[in-house]
Structure 1
Amino acid sequence: MRVHDGDPAPKKGQREEKPLFASSNPRDRILFTMVVFALAYVLIAGRLVVLGFTTDAPTIARLTAADSVSAARPDLVDRNGEILATDIRTASLYAEPRRILDVDEAIELLSSVMPSLNTPQTRNYLASDAGFVWLKREITPDQKRRIHNLGLPGIGFVDENRRFYPGGPTASHFLGHVNIDNEGIAGMEKFVDGEGLADLQAFGFANKERSLEPVPLSLDLRVQHVVRDELTKAMDRYKAVAAVGIVLDVHTGEVLGMSSLPDYDPNDPALALQPDRLNRATAGVFEMGSVFKSFNTAMALDTDRISIDDSFDASKPLRVRGNTITDFHGKHRVLTVPEIFIYSSNIGSAKMAQAVGVPGQKAFFSKIGMTDKLPGQLPEMARPMLPPKWDELTSMTIAFGHGIGVTPMHTAVAAAALMNGGKLIPPSFVPRSREEADGLAKQVVSPKTSDQMRYLFRLNCERGSGRRAEVPGYRVGGKTGTAEKIVNGRYVGNKRFNSFLSAFPIDDPQYVVLIVIDEPKPEEGQYSATAGLNAAPTVAAVIRRIAPMLGVTPRFDMDSNALLVSY
């Protein structure tokens, strides 16, 4: 007798049921499983292909365009909240070549609105098998309307951000500009990207829907307008090739105005590539001429070797190793330190440098920032051009501004230190409090030397070459500089680089104003084109207009011939 566990035995004539895959061979079971999975993957891939062909092509194009759209940027505003740079919404034109029915017709119709699109490159774009191509970024509303009315399949628009500068060229070198993708590539626009905006854009935190907090700058738009306006007038009046103007707060280092002409409109940034559009204020390096006598004199007075009562023999030219140093308007006699300054004596300045010595001069010029690139937010900052051999002759020529090249901004920043009690403060292109500035300041000359330099600056505007810089009530002080330019390795007498370095009000200086006029010509009726005849009156015109804006109260209770300090 047989005993069965589980199911009963099949009846006679009944067929025994077997599993779908009942092979006892393990290899067969593995092969079967692989086939099943392969069929599943084939089905999934087929479905994806079908979906790819049936998805709405314009949607794909819009997604592609969205990935390329210019990210948003924060507004740039001046110290009073006036908008200097902002984003505006603009349309860009794209095509989906796969949906173009007739390439020739599309080009003909598009070029009727935008003739620039009638090119072989556009034809190649539209005849390609690409899913998406840009045809023109940043088109006008009228162009968008007219192209939309053409009703061309495969042609579409994407709204994106475009940078707009309401003031046009007014502050171009200060603000800089952006590229077609709204990325800062010059000026404070580039600085803002470097401070984290580029990272925000990369991670999607600065897209077109998000608003960003405005970035305040140190610039005062009112002051900036005046500086540029007066430089424009000066270039026309004196037939100059270029001009620079800087207004600097002596206690904070804030740059309230900075203009370099010729400039450009940042709404058309391609103009910035022209060679004469260089930002001469911070990226141009020049021999500044006799304004350097300010620093040479401060250097001498800050030592124990020379006092303001000392005198130097300037009765005859200096001859050093075959070179002769003369005075432009020589007095041919012994001159006191104040006389050397107001008569701008090269001979006297060279002898003062000799008294200090080469090591002392090098150390002093390094201390006031003349041997290094200036710190600051603006990317376009040039390094000084130092002499290859700083020997006695070089030291004597540096005393009157030849043999060393610096930027006008170097000159203004060092001058502020001579006016504010002796503290060298790095320039700032964003707002900075006086407390913050004091934390960065470095004492480079004594308060006594600063007082003496203010005295000399004022004396020069009362009795010396700076008389045309006078503005009644505002007590201007300053120093002229008339430097011959180098052409083909030689100094040329009829090509001058003129400047006037000033401060006001000189009894309690608040602002430094530096004006540079490159290659001015003599006015009609004038036999010369020295800085006292063109740069000095331009400074007066600037101060006359900006002083009331900056809240500087005029004073008429001081004797116009009174000196601030008596020594």
Structure 2
Amino acid sequence: MTRFLARTKQRLRRPKAGQKTASGAAIVVDGARKSSGHQTRNRIILVMIGVCLVYAVIAGRLVQYGIRDLATVASIARGNELLASRPDLLDRNGKVLATDIRTVSLYAQPHKITDPDEVIERLATVLPEIDARTVYRKLKSQSQFQWLRRQLTPKQQSDILALGIPGVGFRPEKRRFYPGGPTASHIVGHVNIDNKGIAGMEKYVDGQGLADLAAAGLTIEQQLEPVRLSVDLRVQHIVRDELAAAMQRYQAIAAGAVVLNAKTGEVLAMSSLPDYDPNLPAQALEKDRLNRMSAGTYEMGSTFKAFTTAMALDSGLVSMEDSFDARRPIRIAGHTISDFHGKHRVLTVPEIFIYSSNIGTAKMADAVGIERQRDFLTRIGLLTRMQTELPEVTKPSQPKVWKKINSITISFGHGVATTPLQTAVAAAAMLNGGLLIPPTFLPRSEAEAKGVARQVIRPETSAAMRYLMRLNVEKGSGRRAEVPGFRVGGKTGTAEKVVNGRYSSDVRFNAFLSAFPIEDPQFVVLVIIDEPKPAEGQKSATAGLNAAPTVKAIIRRCAALLGVRPSFGEGDAALLVSY
């Protein structure tokens, strides 16, 4: 107890912190001083950490802006963005047909411009073609944004930057570029100034959802998968090159051709001249630049005799052994139907075909009847609008009421106007075993083709048509289409064009419809030549003299590229002895 009282007294005598001793000196406790020093140090550390975080955020944002697409960090808000990424278009072998390239466009912020006249004067030194009135009206609008010039060249951008004009700037954009120029223009199509597809497969791609994505701004930073087409750029070049040569050689106003896979319906090449450069889309609006192969309708002349003959044979009312009297012209409804090079005798069905007899063909159609003829042509797709990806497709024309005179003239290709592409598609059905396969500009396998095909004629009828097409190249009007080793079959068509409401014998629309190798056709080739003139040293300009040689040139150059091996065996003999 004594010890406890002694300790208590000692504690009560100990001075508190801050109290003075008897001498007047302040008493400082060492632990309190240490606590205050720690707090100061902690505050300094927190301030330093805060400053470092601020600079780290700034540095991070700078790095982020540096690596992001320029289109997303430009001075214009995303809501004003007009151009979005488009997928590349490739040919079947991966060659680029269309792609995006970077460019810039010039814009102004009128509310920041005090002297529009000076701006226009300085811009005119770099852009002399600029419309001063339009630009002045934009600069005086006091709006926050106005386009002045879209898609500048790098030199134009550099020169304008050197002018140092306040209130104007550059907007990164994307421009569509077509490396092949006009080579496949009517297939690929083109885009407008806002990079939106307005023709060809470019428009088709937009229709598959790209336009909606672009409008929602969802394609800006995405690398879209390329779209591969069925076109073979090598074959496309050959077709266009031969058509250009034919136009020059025969002084024609236009020409066109298509190479079609008879087993799948794939379009390997299609060209229509005159064409245009999709890098200069304004050319597409010029006269005669339309796509004649799918957007133009024509009376296809004697190529229709192939369909009339197939119809007659498939009906069972006519056989290969039948004969028809072609000694005298047919007179009906004030018209006279005669043959161009008449034999003036009874002709067998093969003779009617190889001599291209209007009289014999008309009598075969008469044996079938008007209703069955119209139903047959509808069934093989020649009287209805063709279904394919290409937007530029027009509907064929036909008489509102089919009379006997209509039936007769339609049998040899007058009175019905259809597109050359669907003529080739129908021909493929006549030769591939009777399967009508819708044409496509996208890759398609044979298995996929069978899933969309329709049987339109019997296989036996198709075999007969292969025989007749081959016979016509060997002995008939298609001899100039023969390519040694590739066994071409075909049918000529020389149609008189209507001038001032009447058919003119001096103005023609020529066509040659062919397939090879004919015993098992892999490819259909159709060439059209509009208003050809006689070649040098020739007196006439029929299809056998101009369209057939053009088909020959195309097949000779592209057959190997299409994987068709030449054969010089006895295949033709085996085909012919069956009849």
* Contact 2:428/2:436 (<8 A) preserved: yes
Give the greater-gyration-radius structure (CA). Answer: 2
Counterpart of 2:167?
154
One-letter identity of the residue aligned with 1:224 = Q
TM-score by length of 1: 0.88
Inter-partner Cα distance in structure 2 for 1:68 and 1:461: 59
Pairing 1:139–2:116 present: no
Displacement of 1:203 in angstroms is 2.2
**Equivalence for 1:279:** 291
Note the 1:302-381 alignment, pairs <5 A.
302-381=314-393
Tell me how far apart the structure 2 counterparts of residues 121 and 202 of structure 1 sit (CA, whole Å).
27
The reply on whether 1:166 has 2:183 as its aligned counterpart is no
* One of 155, 174, 188 as aligned partner of 1:175: 188
Choose from 207, 229, 251 the match for 1:239: 251
Query: What SS is found at the alignment partner of 2:503?
Result: strand
Matched, 1:395 2:410: no
1:494 and 2:506 correspond? yes
Partner of 1:247, secondary structure, is strand
Kindly state the Cα deviation for residue 101 of structure 1 after the two structures are TM-superposed. 3.4
- The Cα of 1:119 is off from its aligned counterpart by 1.6
- Higher mean C-alpha deviation, range 537-546 or range 67-76: 67-76
Corresponding residue of 2:128: 115
> Does residue 100 in structure 1 map to residue 118 in structure 2?
no
Alignment-mate amino acid for residue 123 of structure 1:
Y
Q: 1:488 to 1:309 in 2, by over 3 A?
A: same
Change (3 A) 1:558 1:134: same
1:198 to 204, 211, 215: 211
How far did 1:560 drift? Answer: 6.7
8 A contact 1:452–1:565 mirrored in 2: no
Determine the C-alpha separation between the residues in 2 that align with 1:428 and 1:75.
19
Q: Distance in 1 between matches of 2:569 and 2:422?
A: 35
**Aligned twin of 1:539:** 551
Q: How does 1:217-232 map to 2 (within 5 A)?
A: 217-232=229-244
Contact 2:196 2:206 in 1 (8 A): yes
How far off its partner does 1:152 sit? 0.6
What is the RMSD of the two structures over their aligned residues, measured on CA atoms? 1.4
In the alignment, what sits opposite 1:405?
Answer: 417
Residues 90 and 229 in structure 2, CA contact (< 8 A), matched pair in contact too: yes
Q: Which amino acid aligns with 1:173?
A: H
**Counterparts in 2 of 1:120 and 1:351: CA distance versus 1, 3 Å:** same
- CA shift, 1:251, in A, is 0.7
Residue in structure 2 matched with residue 11 of structure 1 by the alignment: none
Residue 455 of structure 1 aligns to which amino acid in structure 2? Answer: Y
The change in CA–CA distance for 1:229 and 1:83 in structure 2 (over 3 A counts) is same
Hey, what's the Cα distance between the residues in 1 that align with 2:144 and 2:452?
A: 56
Q: What is the distance in 1 between the residues matched to 2:195 and 2:571?
A: 56
Query: How far apart, CA to CA, are the structure 1 residues paired with 2:573 and 2:290?
Result: 41
Counterpart of 1:166, as a letter, is P
Cα shift at 1:564: 3.4
Asked if structure 2 preserves the Cα contact closer than 8 Å seen for 1:77 and 1:216, the reply is yes
Structure-2 residue corresponding to 1:557: 569
2:453 to 436, 441, 451: 441
- SS of match in other structure, 2:213: helix
**Per-residue Cα deviation, 1:364-423 (whole angstroms, up to 9, x for no partner):** 111101111011111111111011221111111111000000000110000000111000
Deviation, structure 1 residue 485? 0.2
Q: Which amino acid aligns with 1:436?
A: E
CA contact (8 A) 1:188 1:378 kept: yes
Q: Which residue of 1 aligns with 2:98?
A: 85
Conserved? CA contact 1:462–1:561, under 8 Å: no
Query: What SS does structure 1 have at the residue aligned with 2:532?
Result: coil
DSSP-derived class of the 1:453 partner: helix
Alignment partners' CA distance in 2, 1:496 and 1:369? 25
Task: State the one-letter code of the partner of 1:87.
Answer: D
- Tell me whether 110-119 or 339-348 shows the greater mean CA deviation: 110-119
- Distance, in Å, in 2 between the alignment partners of 1:338 and 1:560 is 16
Match of 1:125 in 2: 138
State the partner residue of 2:9.
none
> Deviations for 1:38-76, whole angstroms, at most 9, x for unmatched residues?
xxxxxxxxxxxxxxxxxxxxx998224762331110000
Once residues 147 and 294 of structure 1 are traced to their aligned partners in structure 2, the CA distance between those partners, rounded to angstroms, is: 64
Change in CA separation of 1:366 and 1:63 when aligned onto 2, cut-off 3 Å: same
Q: Deviations over 1:96-150 (max 9, x none)?
A: 1122232222111110000122521111212221111000010101000000111
The match for 2:198 is 185
CA–CA separation in structure 2 for the residues paired with 1:375 and 1:224 = 22
Q: SS at 1:427's partner residue?
A: coil
2:75 alignment partner in structure 1: 62
CA distance in 2, matches of 1:133, 1:249: 50
Listed as ranges, the gaps of 5+ residues in structure 1 are 1-58
Distance 1:191 1:558 in 2: 46
SS across alignment from 1:286: coil
| Alpha-carbon offset, residue 563 of structure 1 | 4.6
Residues 435-472 of structure 1, C-alpha deviation per residue, up to 9 Å, x if partnerless?
A: 11101110011111000000000000000000000001
Q: 2:74 and 2:520 mapped to 1: Cα distance?
A: 64
Tell whether the 8 Å contact from 1:107 to 1:118 is kept in structure 2 after alignment.
no
Distance 2:384 2:300 in 1: 16
Query: Is the partner of 1:264 in helix, strand or coil?
Result: coil
Contact kept? 1:238, 1:521, Cα under 8 Å:
yes
Alignment of 1:504 with 2:516, yes or no, is yes
| Equivalent residue, structure 2, for 1:417 | 429
State the 1:558 CA deviation. Answer: 2.9
Percent sequence identity is 64
The DSSP-based 3-state class of the residue aligned with 1:282 is helix
Large movers: runs of 4+ above 6 Å? 559-562
| Whole-angstrom CA distance in 2 between matches of 1:473 and 1:379 | 37
Q: Secondary structure at the match of 1:114?
A: coil
**Contact 2:74/2:171 (8 A) holds in 1:** no
CA–CA separation in structure 1 for the residues paired with 2:117 and 2:382:
63
Query: What is the CA-CA distance between 1:200 and the residue it aligns to?
Result: 1.4
Distance 2:335 2:290 in 1: 34
Q: Which residue among 306, 309, 319 is the counterpart of 1:294?
A: 306
Secondary structure in structure 2 of the residue aligned to 1:374: coil
Alpha-carbon distance in 2 for matches of 1:278, 1:524: 29
Q: CA deviation at 1:562?
A: 6.9
Task: Report the 3-state secondary structure (helix = DSSP H, G, I; strand = E; otherwise coil) of the residue aligned with 2:206.
Answer: helix
Separation (CA, whole Å) in 2 of partners of 1:558 and 1:504:
16
User: In structure 1, what is the Cα distance between the partners aligned to 2:264 and 2:335?
Assistant: 42
Q: Please report how far the alpha carbon of residue 431 of structure 1 lies from its aligned counterpart in structure 2 after TM superposition.
A: 0.6
Rounded Cα–Cα distance in structure 1 between residues aligned with 2:139 and 2:495? 59
Change in CA separation of 1:60 and 1:459 when aligned onto 2, cut-off 3 Å: closer
Aligned 8 A contact 1:318 1:324 in 2: yes
Which amino acid is 2:156 matched to? Answer: Q
Give 3-state SS (helix, strand or coil) of 1:62's partner: coil
Q: Is contact 2:377-2:383 (8 Å) kept?
A: yes
Contact 1:61–1:132 under 8 Å retained in 2: no
Q: Matches of 1:565 and 1:203 in 2, distance apart?
A: 65
Contact 2:74 2:172 in 1 (8 A): no
